[in-house]
Structure formats: C-alpha cells, structure tokens
Structure 1
Amino acid sequence: MSDTRHSPRRPRAVVVWTLLLTSAATFMASLDNLVVTTALPIIREDLGGDLAALEWIVNGYTLPFACLLLFASALGDRYGRRLVFASGVALFTLASAGAALAGSTDALIAARAVQGAAAAALIPLSLTLISAAVPPERRGAAFGIWGAVNGLAIAGGPLVGGTITEHLSWHWIFWLNIPIGLLVLPLVLTRLPESRGPVKRLDAAGTALASAGLFGVVLAIVRAHEHGWTATSVLAGFALGAVLLYAFVRHESRTPEPLLPLGLFRSRAFTAINITSLLMYAGMFGSIFLLTQFLQLIMGYSPMEAGVRMLPWTAMPMIVAPLAGALTDRIGGRPVVASGLLLMAIGMGWFALYADPAVSYAGMVPAFILCGIGMAMFFAPSGAMAMGAVPPGMQGIASGVNNSAREVGGALGVAVLASVFAARGGYASGQEFTDGLVPALWVAVGLLVVSAAVITWLPRRGDGRPAPASGDPTDARPADRVPA
C-alpha cells in the first residue's frame, strides 16, 4: 500500500466505518487507563496485596503504554497500520480476559501490562487511520468525534469502574472489553483500508533506545510518590532514562532511516502541541486522581455516586467536542485549544477556592462544567493539530510522539500533585485532606495556564489542518505555512 499522501478520496462508508471502529477500540484502551481507580479497595479485599501492589495495578498499564507508543507507530508505518491496529485489538481483548480471570495481584499486574502494550498500538494508529480515510477539510470534525469518545472514556473511567464494582464485581470491569473486542476485530480487518508510511525498514536500535529511555523516565516518575523524588532509585531512573534518550537523539541524527525524524521538531506547530499535551495531561490526570478521592473520602459518596456526580465534567466532551472539532475546521485549532485550557484552569481554580470539608456538591458543579467544556475543547482540535503539523507520510510517528507526551504528562501529573498533596496534607481527617488538595490544585492551575501560553506560540498558520505534501517526508517545516 502506498503512502497516505497518494491515497484517493475515500467513500463515505469507509469514513464512517473508520470513525466507528477506531473510536470503539480507543474507548476500550482509554477507559482502562483509569477504570480500576475506584475498584482498588475491593480488589485489595479480594486479592490481597499492599498499597504498592495496588499502585502497580494502575502503573503496570501506564508504563508499557507510554514506552511502546513510538514502537507501535513505527510498526504500523512499516507493516501496515490496519494490521498492527487489528493486532492491538486482539491482544487487548486477550489481556482483558486474563485480567478478569486473575487470581492474584501479580497476575492482574501482568495482564494490565499486556493491556498497556496493546493500547500503545490502538491510540496512535487510530489517528493515522482517521487521517488516511477522512478528507482534509473534514478532519477537524472527525477528530472532534474521536476526541469526544476519548475524553469521555478517560474522564468516565471512575464512574464505569465504580458502578460495575458496586453492582456486579471488579472482574466485570475487564469482561466488558471482550464483546467489544470480538465485535470490532473482524470489522477492522474487513472494513478499514490499509495504509503505510514511507519507512522501508524498522530502526531497531532507535526503537530499543527510545523504549528503554522512556521506561527509565516514566518508571522514575511513578516511583517518586512512593519513594520520594530524591531517592537513589528514583534519581538513578531519571539519569539512566536521560542518558538513553540522549543516545537515541544522537542515533536518530545519524541513521539514514530514523524511527523519529528530528526534522519534525523544526515545526513550531508540532513542538508546541506536544508540550501543550504534556502539560495539559499533567494537570488533568493529577486533578482527577485527587478529586475522585475527595468525593469519596471527604464528601462520603460511594464509588458509583462519586462517578455520577462527576457527570457535569465527564458528559461535556460528548456535547462540546464535535462542535469544537467543526469550529477548528473553520478558524483553526489554536484559539479553540487556548480557550479550552483557560476554562479548565478557571475550573481548577474554582475547586481550589471552594474546597472545604463541609463543601456542598452544588457549589462544585460550575467547576465541573468548566473543566468538562475545557477538556473537550482541547481533545477535539489537538489530534488534528498534531497530524496537520507534519507531512502526511510522517503522521504515524507524529501520532506516537504526541501520545507519548500525553502519557508521560499523565504519569508526571499524578506523581507531582500527589507529592504536593502528601507534603501539605494527608488522609487523617477531612481538613488535612483539604490542606493537601488545595495547593495541589493550584499546581494544576499553573500547569494549565502555562500550557495555554505555550499554544499561543503556535504559528497563526498551520494550527489544525494537514500539511501539504513535501518532497522530503521528514521535512516538517511546510506545516507552519498551512493556511488557517
């Protein structure tokens, strides 16, 4: 199959099937990122294990997910994006069955790790499959639909996990994926068009260096909360990861067919959207991690009740993201994303000002709504902006880079905000919890404000539509000249 730059305009049915199938598959992957958070107390009662083991049920998914995104994107470019995407669906479905059948925390952690590895193929390749199938003038709206589903899955994870755990069993969190996977897999193989990137051979050395370097950095981040940021093992992880990533950059600058063409970062648009994604996910994931606990531990709601009360936040992407995606097609992504990030910052600031052990839920609803609208306004254009910032032949690896930035940002946000919380508060009383929550939320506000400032660095032209084809597929500079 030829490069997507030469792909003909797809029939409408292909566009519809692509959106349906990629959204369904990525919904599974995104949902399972946070779905276990509200089920952890029940899992501990059933399987045993200490606090560190419970944390690894979450981190066991995050680590391979973050570290294998570039590798999976490169495999898709080389061997076929539909083939690798379908393999990810099959592996994710099998791993979900393994997680549902797990009889110990070790078995559950292992199954979660396989889930994370499979998800690394689903998320980035979904974006490149959409880019290949959808006409350029409609990609903003298409990514808006994808963003709505993805945002709903991420923010709705605690609700789904809490509801299923409360009324069925934690095992059904994972059994839920099986019928979805079995339905989606044959349709992916028969309904989606195949596409490949310009890569002729896999950069094995670059893949190993990038994956190992990301593993060191992300592992250090997720261990920092447990062991402290200055612990020897944490600092060693950061140091080793940094050395390996430096070696990766050196290798990529010299190899004729790199895993990550460094010329992509000559595009201000590409650099800005990735920095923005990292900071936004840091603020969002860290805040959700603490606010779901606040609703349960301080306000006294059950897991399901807490999830229901977050609906003013979690339901917004389904309403706002498609509208924001269509708006991106008209005015470009920069003003939409910047406005969304500022709305999220205002919402987080509202939480920080209003937080109190005796707070009423009604007083939190406006903040939930602001955060939901802002999150939807980020998700809708960001995929189109990441894809439009590079030549079409490089969209696979660009998607992997963008999703790696998001995952590293999410892990960093949870670790940083949890550390701020632990330094200023704790779980001994409602007041102590609030004392830690408030400064952590202000850190999230700062991250979101900085991310909004970064996105204004994006060039006025080239903020949401695909770049024109370039004679050099590694030259990302034309993306900065795309009309907005």
Structure 2
Amino acid sequence: MEHTVQPDREFRISGILVPLIAIIAGVFMVALDSTAMNVALPTLLKDFDTNLTTLQWVVTGYMLAQASVIPLSGWLSDRFGAKRVFLSAVVLFTIGSILCALPNSAEWLITFRVIQGLGGGSVIPIAMAYVYRLSPPGKVGVVMGLMGIPVLFAPAIGPVLSGWLVEFHSWRWIFLINIPIGIICLLIGMRKLPKVERTQVPGMDKLGMILGPLAFAALTYGVSQGAESWTSSKTLFGLGLGAVALILFVIVELRAQTPLLELRVMGSIDFSLGIIVQWIGQFGLYGALFLMPQFLQQARGFGAFDTGLTMLPQAIASGLVMPIAGMLFDKIGVRWLIVGGLGLISGALYQYSHVDLTITSRDVILPLLMCGAGMGLMIMPMNTHLLNKAPRHLVNRVTSLTNSMQQVINSLAISTLVTILTSRTATHALEMKEAAAAAGVSSAATSPEAVKLATQNLLVKGFDDTFHIMMFVAIGGAVLGLLLRRGSKKAEEAPHTEMMHS
C-alpha cells in the first residue's frame, strides 16, 4: 500500500511515525557501521594474517565509496524518486553486509566493504531530504530531531557493540546484525514510505557525474592520508587530483543548466555563513569525539569495550537532547542552539584539557554529558537551518552538497587533530630531553618503568594541548553562530529561487 505526502494542514507527527521508523532503521545501520569496524581491526589482523596497511582499506574503502556516491544522491532522487532510491540503497547496503560476513581474506572484505559503502553513501543524505520534505515548516525541527537520533547515537554505540561482539562472539556479527535491521527497513518502507513528488530533470550532467565523485573521493583520501604525513606521495596525489577535479567541477556546475550539485545556493550569505559555522563546529566537535576515545585507549590503557562504555553517557545525552533541540528550533531558530551547543562543547573541551594519568571513567561523566548535549543542540538544527535556506524543490541537491562537503571536512578534522597531537607531543618530548640533558640525567640509567611513565606523560601533555586548541576553535564557532539569522521560510525562498533561476 502506497501513501502520498499529506498537505501541511492535515499533518500530524503521529502520521509519519511508522514511515519514520523505516528511515531511522536505514540510517541507524549505516551510521553504526561507520565506527564499528575500527575496534575489529586488531582481530582481523590475526584472522587474515595480513598487515595494517592492507587492512586499513577496510575502513578507507568504505569511506571513499560513500564519498563518491553522495554527490549523486540528489540527482538520483530527483530522477527516480526518493522512495525508490532510498530502498535500493538499503538493499545494496544489506547485500554488502551479508557479503562482508563471508570472506576469509582481507582483499575480499575490502571489496565487499566498497559495495556496502556504495549503498550506505546514499542513505543518510536521501533520508535527510526525505524527512525534510515530509514535514511542514512549523514541524521540521521536531521531525529532523527525531531522525537525527540514530545519526549520533549509532556511531557512539558502535565501538561498544562491536567490542562486545568481537570479544565474546565473532567480528562477522558486526555485519550480520545489519540483516534484520535492513529487512525491517525494507518491509516497512515498501508499505508505508510515502511517495515524494519527483522533480523533472530535463538533462543529465554527465561531466559533473564524473568530476564530482572523483573530486570528493580524492580529497577525502588525500586528507585522510594526511594523518600519517602531509608531504607523502599518497597525500599529495589525493589532494592534487581532488583540487584539480574540484576546480573543474565548480566551473562545469556553474555553467550547467541542470547541475549535479546546485552550487549557486552558495551565493546566499545566510547559507554560506551556515556552512562555515558548521565546518568550524565540526572541527571543535571532533576534538571531543575523536580525541577522548584515543586518550582513554592510548594514554590510560582502556580496552575498546571499556572505552565504548565510558563514552556511552555522551551518546545518551545527545539522544535525549536532540528531540528537544528540534522543538526549540521550530520556536526560536538556530542561532542560540548553535551558540549554546558549541558553548557546552567548549566547556567539555576545557575540562578535557586538564586530564591526566589518574583520571577514571567517573571523572569524565560531566564533560561527556556536556559534549553530548552540545552535539544534540547543534547537529540537526544546523542541518535543518541549511535546508531552510534553500528552495524546497532543491532540497535533494542541497543535502548531497552538504553531506559531500561534510565527508571531506570530517576527514580533514581527524587528520588535523592527529597532526596537532603528534606535533605537541614531539615538542614536549624535546623539552623533556633538553631538561634531562641540562640536569645531567642519562637515558641509559633510566629504568624501563620510568621510561614508560615518561612516555605516557608526554602523550597526556600532547592531548591536553590539543584539547585546549580545539576549545578555542569551538568558541570561535559559537561567536560566528551569533551572526546566524532565522528569517521566515517564505522570505528565504523568494530570493533564493530568484537567484537559482536568474
């Protein structure tokens, strides 16, 4: 049985709860797999008898496959319909999950992860556009808040769940658990997902379809390799190829009558400012999301499962706050949610910048709750704000654009954080070496226990400095957030539509 989108005047939240379950199920399993494999890599090293350089492509291949397909998502939705493309992507992801549970070699697992990523890359941007178009302007924040819960919660519980599965069962179950979720999504989706009216696509931007995926995939690869070295041949090749492809892509898109990604929306000051605030906020947020688990494992010696359990309050806080943030967005707009969210994240980063080797799981509960609440206030309201700044008929293209850029920014944030951490740790090591030389202490006379403790202390100082730097980045994002304007949807659409068709 097929449903059509209800007019705004007939809209009830309860009327889309069942189709929303299908969307949430699809988003949940894709978001879950974005972090679940990281914990399993040490086990896969033994099972496949391979090296980490090869096995890292299990993660990198999945990421690059997603980056290459995200730019196509909007066009596919406009051309074939959001429902058909969303369910097809879920089918491909589920099939990829089944295949990923079967191989006995790293090469086949990498291949199947690419298939999985090609399906998963379309799910989240299409889901965001789907939910946005199903919701009238007065309820967008609430519904997007509900859809955003799995976007934040699934990656947070991914290490906990995968750590438990790897430790007590098998790494293959990381993929097998996607099968029932995918089936539930498909069964509900086929019957209950409403049809969204397709947009007429008069032509095909063939050159854009080649350059767009190439540019975003190459840039994502280049910045991810930057975590090892910004001057390596792999990094320079990825960044160089991506930059050239991106420049050509922008030229092609601005001249095309039917562009793959609607870049002209960047001509809106409100939209561009929102994108900049989102990027800066992502950097500050990743300072908390990425670095704290690394600190717990590298400096404190926590296992993956214990680290996941320690980080769980953050996921719970974000899940609880996100629906509230959605309701507040509908009432007060995005400005104070962004300022408040990044303010909380700044406070959490300040507390993280004072961690040491004596810290326990209980000691970080408060900053974890603050960080989770900040995420809940910021993530989906910012995405909804950006969609509000674009004409409604271009929502599919805008979600593809923002998600493509986020993929690159997230990789850049992680690589930058690793670079800062490495640099600050090396600086402290040099200072300690110079101090020891001045005091006449010989490294040969130092006991192994003392060397180990000194190394851990150096790492802690590096983490503290990096947390401190990211705190100021988050504060900068909060200050810029004060410039965000709410505006009315009607007022926003008119100039934007005129701009698009001028």
What does 1:200-349 correspond to in 2, within 5 Å? 200-226=202-228, 228-285=229-286, 287-349=288-350
- Residues 268/78 of structure 1: CA separation in 2 closer, same or farther (3 Å cut): same
Q: CA deviation at 1:170?
A: 1.3
Partner in structure 1 of residue 94 of structure 2: 93
How big is the alpha-carbon RMSD for the aligned residues of Structure 1 and Structure 2?
A: 2.7
Query: Secondary structure of 2:194's partner?
Result: coil
**TM-score, normalised with respect to structure 2:** 0.87
* Inter-partner Cα distance in structure 1 for 2:10 and 2:205: 31
Q: Distance in 2 between matches of 1:251 and 1:5?
A: 37
> Unmatched 5+ residue regions in structure 1?
478-484
Opposite residue 22 of structure 2, the aligned amino acid is L
Residue in 2 that maps onto 1:58: 59
Question: Match of 1:381, SS?
Answer: helix
Does 2:476 align with 1:450?
A: yes
Question: Could you tell me how far 1:471 is from its partner in structure 2?
Answer: 9.2
Q: 2: CA distance between counterparts of 1:76 and 1:46?
A: 40
Shift of 1:7: 8.5
Note the C-alpha offset of 1:375: 0.6
* Cα gap change, 1:239 to 1:132, in 2 (>3 Å): same
What is the CA deviation profile of residues 295-352 of structure 1, one whole-angstrom value per residue up to 9, with x for unaligned ones?
2343333322221111221111221110111011110012102210121122112101
Contact 2:31 2:150 in 1 (8 A): no
Which residue of structure 2 aligns with residue 389 of structure 1? 389
Letter in 2 for 1:278: W
Equivalent-residue separation in structure 2 for 1:49 and 1:388 (angstroms):
48
Contact 2:129 2:396 (C-alpha < 8 Å) held by counterparts: yes
Aligned residues: 473
Q: 1:66 to 1:454 in 2, by over 3 A?
A: farther
Cα distance, 1:325–1:472 mapped onto 2, change above 3 Å: closer
> Closer, same or farther in 2 for the Cα pair 1:7/1:312, shift >3 Å?
closer
Distance, in Å, in 2 between the alignment partners of 1:357 and 1:197 is: 57
How far apart, CA to CA, are the structure 2 residues paired with 1:90 and 1:333? 35
Q: 2:462 aligns with which of 436, 441, 447?
A: 436
Equivalent residue, structure 2, for 1:368: 368
Tell whether the 8 Å contact from 1:4 to 1:392 is kept in structure 2 after alignment: no
Distance change (3 Å), C-alpha of 1:466 and 1:43: farther
- Conserved? CA contact 1:321–1:376, under 8 Å: yes
Q: Kindly indicate whether the alpha-carbon contact (under 8 Å) linking 1:97 and 1:178 is maintained by their aligned counterparts in 2.
A: yes
| Pairing 1:475–2:499 present | yes
Task: Tell me the CA shift for residue 215 of structure 1.
Answer: 1.7
Hey, what's the Cα distance between the residues in 2 that align with 1:117 and 1:17? 26
In 1, the alpha carbon distance for the partners of 2:487 and 2:500 equals 14
Q: Does residue 403 of the first structure (1) align with residue 403 of the second (2)?
A: yes
Look up the equivalent residue of 1:366 and give its one-letter code: L
For 1:423 and 1:469, the matched residues in 2 are separated by 46
**Displacement of 1:145:** 1.0
Q: Cα offset for 1:460?
A: 4.2
Q: How does 1:342-361 map to 2 (within 5 A)?
A: 342-353=343-354, 355-361=355-361
Contact 1:147 1:317 (C-alpha < 8 Å) held by counterparts: no
Q: After superposition, give the CA deviation of every residue in 1:162-182 in whole Å (9 maximum; x if it has no partner).
A: 122222221111111011101
Which residue does 1:481 correspond to in 2? none
> Residue 353 of structure 2 aligns to a residue in which SS?
helix
Deviation of 1:84 (Å): 0.6
CA distance in 1, matches of 2:154, 2:239: 30
Q: d(CA) in 2 for partners of 1:364 and 1:53?
A: 35
Q: Is the 8 A contact 2:5 2:194 kept in 1?
A: no
Give the Cα–Cα distance (whole angstroms) in 1 for the partners of residues 15 and 223 of structure 2.
41
Match of 1:180 in 2: 181
Aligned-pair distance for 1:158?
A: 1.7
**What letter corresponds to residue 44 of structure 2 in structure 1?**
I
Instruction: Name the CA distance, whole Å, in 2 between partners of 1:469 and 1:362.
Output: 48
Gaps of at least 5 residues in structure 2 are 427-450
1:480 aligned residue: none
TM-score, normalised on structure 1?
Answer: 0.90
Distance 1:330-1:60 versus aligned 2 partners, 3 A rule: same
Answer yes or no: is the 8 Å Cα contact 1:18–1:133 preserved in 2: no
Contact 2:262 / 2:398 at 8 angstroms: preserved in 1?
no
* 1:420 corresponds to: 420
Asked if 2 retains the 8 angstrom alpha-carbon contact of 1:75 and 1:202, the reply is: no
- In the alignment, residue 344 of structure 1 is paired with which amino acid? I
Structure 1 residues 361, 424: closer, same or farther in 2, change over 3 A? same
- CA contact 1:340–1:376 (8 Å) conserved in 2: yes
Greater CA drift, 66-75 or 12-21: 12-21
The answer (yes or no) to whether the contact 1:394–1:473 under 8 Å persists in 2 is no
- One-letter amino acid of the structure 2 residue matched with residue 413 of structure 1: A
Counterpart-to-counterpart distance in 1, 2:10 and 2:248: 41
CA shift in 2, pair 1:114/1:446, >3 Å: farther
CA contact (8 A) 1:31 1:156 kept: yes
Output the amino acid matched with 1:435: K
Quote the Cα distance in structure 2 between the aligned partners of 1:455 and 1:296: 33
Show CA shifts across 1:70-113 (max 9, x none).
21121111111111100110011011111111212222222222
Letter in 2 for 1:325: G
Q: Which residue of 2 aligns with 1:191?
A: 192
**Deviation by residue 1:449-484 (Cα, 9 ceiling, x = unmatched):** 33323333322425xx5876549857369xxxxxxx
**How far apart are the structure 1 equivalents of 2:271 and 2:280?**
15
Answer whether contact 1:277 1:405 (CA < 8 A) is retained.
no
Are residues 1:144 and 2:145 paired?
A: yes
Give 3-state SS (helix, strand or coil) of 1:310's partner. helix
Structure 1 counterpart of 2:119, which letter?
Answer: A
Q: CA deviation at 1:265?
A: 1.1
CA distance in 2, matches of 1:451, 1:61: 30
Paired-residue identity, %: 28
